[in-house]
């Protein structure tokens, strides 16, 4: 019997998130600790029915990034801006599929997602609902992970995994914040850009919410964007009501009005309030 009614899977974006003292279990909140705490207070006792997981992938690149920074420090100086560029922008540059089987980072990051979903299936069951919370580049990663699964099936392939939850067919909600998917789409003609389809087809009708994708962005966040204008099919997704872009004012008094708002979503009421509401909606429909 499943031990929980809902799994919340949280993935981080660009930047160092890894604990150098070792990797705790995915159920131990680290980068999402503040978000979970605030959501839990809003949901109340029903959070006992929720299992909270983190996908931590920064360690895949973090060692090489820090090693490079140490090397160039002798010649260039170790300033915060240079560290930001190396530890953030290189994450985005390194995560890409390639036609020559050289996309080892892409595969390694997706393996982190796969490992967490393999644990989730035991806790919510093979068809249990999942709520995905994805920050920054994490939104692009989860979108690609789901898209690759869906494309494989469209091309006539057999399911990659034995359960619907692992095959990303029981996603009751997809929440992106500070999402930068649009900047990865300019390399493709607009008519060849396809967003993911609703990843909820294995769920009962009560859990197939009309708006299953909610995207939150702050106008001051230069790394977070609305998605509906990305390409014609994203616009169709928005017009159908499946995707909803939500402008918010993330961060606190010293960050909400500048690019530092990119990290302000984690503890902002405009995000944790709707997340808590969606959790309550899912639990009520299970």
Q: Which of 50, 51, 203 is nearest to 126 (CA)?
A: 203
* 134-159 pLDDT per residue, tens: 999 999 999 999 999 999 999 999 99
The CB density around residue 72, as the number of other CB atoms within 10 Å, is 12
* 189-246 pLDDT per residue, tens: 999 999 999 999 999 999 999 999 999 999 888 889 999 999 999 999 999 999 999 9
Residue 9 reports pLDDT greater than 60:
yes
Q: What is the distance between the alpha carbons of residues 211 and 237, in angstroms, rounded to a whole number?
A: 10
pTM to 2 decimal places = 0.90
Which residues are CB-contacts of 66 (< 8 A; sequence separation ≥ 6)?
A: 87
Q: Which of 270, 227, 267, 228 is nearest to 249 (CA)?
A: 270
Residue 254 reports pLDDT greater than 50:
no
Residue 253 reports pLDDT greater than 50:
no
Q: Which of 164, 128, 105 is nearest to 4 (CA)?
A: 128
Mean pLDDT of 121-146: 97
CATH code for the structural domain at 6-285? 3.40.50.1820
pLDDT of 178: 94
Residue 173 reports pLDDT greater than 50:
yes
Domain boundaries, the chain: 6-285
């Amino acid at each position: 019997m499943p031990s929980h009614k809902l799994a919340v899977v949280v993935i981080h974006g660009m930047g160092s998130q890894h604990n150098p003292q070792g990797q705790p279990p995915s159920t131990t909140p680290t980068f999402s600790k503040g978000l979970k705490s605030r959501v839990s207070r809003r949901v109340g006792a029903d959070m006992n029915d929720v299992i909270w997981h983190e996908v931590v992938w920064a360690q895949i690149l973090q060692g090489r990034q820090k090693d490079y920074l140490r090397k160039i420090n002798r010649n260039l100086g170790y300033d915060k801006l240079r560290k930001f560029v190396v530890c953030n922008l290189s994450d985005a540059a390194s995560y890409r599929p390639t036609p020559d089987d050289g996309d080892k980072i892409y595969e390694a990051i997706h393996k982190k997602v796969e490992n967490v979903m393999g644990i989730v299936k035991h806790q919510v069951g093979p068809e249990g609902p999942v709520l995905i919370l994805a920050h920054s580049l994490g939104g692009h990663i989860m979108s690609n992970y789901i898209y690759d699964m869906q494309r494989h099936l469209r091309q006539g392939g057999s399911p990659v995994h034995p359960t619907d939850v692992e095959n990303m067919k029981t996603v009751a909600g997809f929440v992106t914040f500070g999402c930068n998917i649009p900047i990865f789409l300019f390399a493709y003609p607009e008519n060849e850009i396809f967003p993911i389809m609703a990843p909820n087809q294995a769920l009962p009708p009560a859990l197939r919410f009309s708006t299953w994708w909610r995207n939150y962005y702050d106008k001051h966040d230069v790394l977070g964007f609305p998605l509906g204008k990305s390409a014609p099919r994203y616009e169709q997704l928005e017009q159908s009501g499946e995707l909803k872009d939500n402008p918010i004012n993330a961060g606190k008094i010293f960050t909400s009005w500048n690019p530092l708002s990119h990290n302000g979503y984690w503890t902002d009421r405009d995000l944790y309030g709707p997340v808590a509401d969606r959790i309550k909606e899912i639990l009520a429909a299970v």
